[in-house]
Chain A
Amino acid sequence: MSLNTQLIRSLRAPARPAWEEPASRIGLTAKGGFLALCCLGVLGPLWIVIVTSLSPKPVIDRVGGLVVIPEGITFINYTELLSGGQVSRAIMISVGVTLFGTLFSMAVSVGAAYGLSRPGSLGHRFFLLTMMATMFFGAGLIPTYLLVQSLGLTDTYLSLVLPSAVSVFNILVLRAFFMGISPELTESARIDGAGDVRILLTIIMPLSRAVLAVISLFYAVGYWSAWFNASIYLSDQEMLPLQNVLIQLVQKNTSAPTGLQQAVHTGQLSALGLQMAVMVLALIPVAVASPFVQRHFKKGMLTGAVKG
């Protein structure tokens, strides 16, 4: 079968069950139209942002702001932003915090999820309750702030990682998945003399790749998107991650990133184009990563939502 017929087959609707009424033309059009509208509502604004970030200054000036129809595509905004300066540094910081934070969160979460996956082990109930109780109350912003401050974590990147490192929900999802793995598999390894660490690393984790990918994505997106902790714990402007720089540029209406103000002033670069480029840089990693793990979402969310 050629690739073409394969494609056509996959596009053709599967057969309806005999008891179901045939689809009406109006119904199909309405459904398709509405779905298309929803997708347009998501992609439309992103399109405008991306196109504007790729437009040269004359085009932006001529249309009077945001560009909808691409014309004279240029990457100058990106090359300028990425060749050192405020935004490059912020990107490095965000990438570093996200990588380190995700690794740290995954390490402790996987450990706890496996450690709690065997009911009847010593302290199992106590640890589980200690964990789950935190889902019902928050300690409050002020005491947390005072604690982080007196631990000496302010103005360090640890303040962006440690207070938000653990998500109990994520651990419960992992745990539910680990518990669903057939015990026969781990048994045989145990008889062969493997310890818990070895079982986790060589049997459980390879079998849970899908859920590990989803939870890593959740953690990574959390670190990448976070800005509030940085806004209260970091006083040094040079340490701010990308989201905070974006706030400064777009929300507080600073015209251009430090270092590029001269170029904007003399009319070489467009402030708007630069802002949109920073936005695109902030959304690229999540937009690229999430479709890859999308097919596993349902499974991950379901185990977490249904089993407590």
Chain B
Amino acid sequence: MSLTAGSRPDGTRSVAAVEEPTAAVGAATATGRVARRTRKAAREGKVPWRVRLRRDRTLILMTLPVILLLVLFNYVPLLGNVVAFQDYDPYVSSNGITAIFHSPWVGVEQFSRMVDDPLFWSAVKNTILLFSLQLVLFFPIPIALALLINSVIRPRVRAVAQAIMYLPHFFSWVLVVTVFQQIFGGAGIIAQTLEKHGWTGFDLMTNSDLFKYLVTAQAVWKDAGWGIIVFLAALAAVSTDLYEAAAMDGAGRWRRMWHVTLPALRPVIALLLVLRVGDALSVGFEQFLLQRDAVGVGASEVLDTYVWNMGIQNGDFSYAAAVGLVKGAIGVCLVLAANKFAHLLGEQGVYKK
């Protein structure tokens, strides 16, 4: 088979079409076969890259803007993390990037500072505490809601309930925090009602002991409804034959849920757990930052807000970058570990083995 490159931008498929112009039914499988063959040939280098470049140049041009943006804003800053090993001073040079070349290297000094920094450890503690609480209290709720919605068979009731529950997901954290303020804050509707009956001083928004439950409640209000989508999709894919067979064997409603529905959800639950654990250290950055002033640093400072405070607010860029680097490194390890765990359980996780 010879490709007349140039005249046909995508050699593989048009060749297939020319080979079997009349066999309309067989065309699909033939296309697949030829495409696979040429793809293999391409990987083995039988099609010279110049030919492929010419054939695929439009595709490459279409992909490039995204690649350039990602390189510029994701890969280049990755290199910028070298400031963590410096005593970086943005003012030694007119440009923040060239200042890196003029700043003194201090090795791991920033990291040893971190070990002796009680505020850093307090941020670590808060991160773990707030994340664990959100995981335990938040995670089961969308599953339960999805089972509930799935058991409603009236399509209109389902659609309306879903539309309402999805809504808060699209609100910004600013709005969510403000809404909570109007309900639970010192001037909120609850405080207002209590005050009329003589109880004053109700204000959940500035209570640092209850902060962890408050932010979990906010997360539930915002995203629990949205979380049900994936579970609903998985539930829709369960064959009704399974339920019927189970019912024939005498399984009641709850046994069917336990033996048919929940096993069907297992892979999705595993996937979402992995994603969530991988994201553990980034938990609720915007949410906590917005409420930092109200409840105080002791209860709300997590690693991300600490980086923000030390770097952007205080200008201690090197130290903040060091904290961010440690956070990022642990984050990557967490993703890999959680994925490994999912594989051990026999699930797929984020990527395949």
Contact = CB atoms under 8 A, between A and B. Distances in A.
A221 B170 contact: yes
Given A16-B153, A195-B9, A138 B166 contact: no
A150 B229 CA distance: 41
Nearest to B172: A225
Contact of B320 (A63, A134, A142, A149): A142
Interface string A121-163: 1110001001100101111111111110110000000000011
26 contacts: A35-B157, A38-B145, A42-B225, A66-B188, A109-B66, A111-B65, A116-B63, A120-B12, A120-B38, A122-B60, A127-B67, A136-B278, A140-B325, A141-B312, A143-B321, A145-B312, A146-B97, A149-B90, A166-B66, A166-B70, A171-B66, A196-B58, A251-B178, A282-B174, A290-B170, A308-B350
Contacts of B73: 139, 144, 147, 162-163, 166
A141 to B, nearest CB: 5
Contacts of B161: 35, 38-39
A302 interface: yes
Interface in B203-257: 221, 225, 229-230, 232-233, 236, 240, 243-244, 247-248, 252-253
Contacts of B76: 139, 147
Interface in B42-58: 42-43, 49, 52-53, 55-56, 58
Q: How many A residues are at the interface, by size bracket?
A: 35 or more
A76 interface: no
A112 B69 CA distance: 11
Contacts of A107: 65
Contact of B311 (A35, A121, A142, A289): A142
B66 A131 contact: yes
A206 interface: no
A115 interface: yes
Interface stretch (A83-91, A182-190, A257-265): A182-190
Contacts of A143: 77-81, 83, 321, 324
B177 interface: yes
B112 to A, nearest CB: 18
B62 A41 contact: no
B2 interface: no
B170 A140 contact: no
A97 to B, nearest CB: 13
B286 A228 contact: yes
A180 interface: no
A17 B271 CA distance: 32
Contacts of B268: 305
Contact of B62 (A137, A141, A196): A196
Chain B interface helix/strand/loop/mixed? helix
B335 interface: yes
A251 B290 contact: yes
Contacts of A289: 170
Q: Which of A224, A276, A294 has the most CB of B within 10 A?
A: A294
A-B residue pairs, 4 tightest by C-beta: A143-B80, A225-B172, A115-B63, A139-B77
Interface in B270-304: 271, 278, 282, 285-286, 289-290, 293-294, 304
Given A144-B73, A147-B73, A68 B189 contact: yes
Contacts of B181: 250-251
A39 B321 CA distance: 43
A224 B172 contact: yes
A121 B56 contact: yes
A172 to B, nearest CB: 11
B262 interface: no
Interface in A199-228: 200, 221, 224-228
Contacts of A46: 179
A25 interface: no
Interface in A58-92: 63-66, 68
Given A115-B63, A196-B9, A122 B77 contact: no
Chain B's interface size range is 35 or more
B156 interface: yes
A165 interface: yes
Contacts of A224: 172
B312 to A, nearest CB: 5
B140 interface: no
B167 to A, nearest CB: 6
Given A147-B97, A279-B178, A286 B192 contact: no
Interface string B296-330: 00000000100110011000010011001101100
Interface string B98-138: 10000000000000000000000000000000000000000
A294 B163 contact: yes
Given A45-B179, A65-B187, A140-B81, A112 B66 contact: yes
B7 to A, nearest CB: 10
A144 B321 CA distance: 10
Given A19-B247, A68-B189, A146-B90, A279 B175 contact: yes
Contact of B168 (A17, A42, A49, A282): A42
Contacts of A272: 187
Contacts of A287: 167, 170
A49 B178 CA distance: 10
A42 B66 contact: no
A138 B331 contact: yes
A272 to B, nearest CB: 8
